[in-house]
Every structure is written in structure tokens, then in C-alpha cells.
Amino acid sequence: MDGRFKQISHATLVNGAAVMSAGEGRIQGIVADISPYTGHYKIDLKAFEIAKEAFRRAGFIVK
């Protein structure tokens, strides 16, 4: 972390509720650069496609 980014957990994003997907990402403006890789949790790639679509519906350009 170089001070320009804030790291938050998926549990924070959903207020402790169950999650469908996990991964890493960086958001800068309206660009979301997301990845399904967490280093430890293997997600279903179909769930990752759903996550990407959710970012698109929220107005982000997904890389």
C-alpha cells in the first residue's frame, strides 16, 4: 500500500452478510480493475462474472 489506496474486506462491504464471490480490486474514479484471485479462496468463475456485471450496473468500467 502506498497511501493512495484503502484496503477493505468483503465482510465490510456486505456488513457481515454472506458473500457470493471474493477477489481483489482497485477502483480509480469509474474504473474498477478486479480479479477473482484472493491467494487462498477459490471462487466459482461464474460468480466472478456476476460480480463484474454488478460493478458494471453500478456504473463502473470493468477491466
The one-digit pLDDT tens for each residue of the chain (63 residues) are 556 767 766 566 677 777 777 788 888 999 999 998 877 777 788 988 988 999 999 999 998
DSSP string, the chain: --SS-----HHHHTTT---S---EEEEETTEEEEES--SS----HHHHHHHHHHHHHTTPEE-
0.95 exceeded by pTM: no
Residue 54 falls within a domain, yes or no? yes
Residue 2 falls within a domain, yes or no? no
Domain count, the chain: 1
Q: List the domain range (segments joined by +) for residue 21.
A: 10-62
Residue 32 falls within a domain, yes or no? yes
Residue 1 falls within a domain, yes or no? no
